Each structure stands twice: as structure tokens, then as C-alpha cells.
Amino acid sequence: MIGDMKENAIEWITGDDTVTATFTQKKFINRIRRMSKAHGELVEITHENLDGSIVCKFPLKAIHITIYNAKTGGFEGVEEE
């Protein structure tokens, strides 16, 4: 099973406004390709690996971390004000 592991990673240094990411999942690779075409000045694919994975750079403001509640559409475990 270890040989089948493919890592996805997003990293940045505190204070930077750009992240570097590696994606192996087609879902995210395709999203980055679309973003690169629409926002080429902000999103750059810096390397395409032989296995199809990519390394890219994009703005930190593009990262959103959320958990949606399937029933209400709101945030799980967060009370609205």
C-alpha cells in the first residue's frame, strides 16, 4: 500500500501571500488548470511531473477551509450570530 501513496501538499511561510502546492488528484489538477487559464497572472503551474501530478503557485487568499453541514448548508459545529 505504501507504494500507492500519492501526496497532496499546500505550504507557505507565515507572512507570504503566495502558496506552493503539489497536487496528484485530478480534481485539483483540473481546478488549478482552469484557474491558470482564467487568472494566469496569479496562478502558475511551475512543473508537471511524469506521473501527471503538478507543482503550482497561487495566492494564499484562494485557500478556504470550511466544513458545510449537509442538512442546513451552514457550518458544522459553528453557531451563527
- What does the domain layout of the chain look like in residue ranges? 2-62
Question: What is the pLDDT, as a whole number, of residue 37?
Answer: 97
Give the integer Cα–Cα distance in Å for 71 and 43: 34
Q: What are the tens digits of pLDDT across the range 18-75?
A: 999 999 999 999 999 999 999 999 999 999 999 999 999 999 999 999 888 777 666 5
Give the Å distances, CA to CA, from 8 to 52, 56, 77.
12, 11, 27
Q: Which residues lie across from 11 on neighbouring strands?
A: 20
Q: Output the pLDDT for position 44.
A: 97
Whole-model pTM: value is 0.76
Is the pLDDT reported for residue 13 higher than 80?
A: yes
What pLDDT, on the 0 to 100 scale, is given for residue 69? Answer: 75
Residue 71: DSSP 8-state: T
Closest by CA position to 57, among listed 5, 13, 2: 13
Mean pLDDT (whole number) for 3-32: 95
Higher local confidence (pLDDT), 39 or 5: 39
Residue 13's DSSP bridge partners are none
Please tell me the distance from the alpha carbon of residue 40 to that of residue 2, in angstroms, as a whole number. Answer: 35
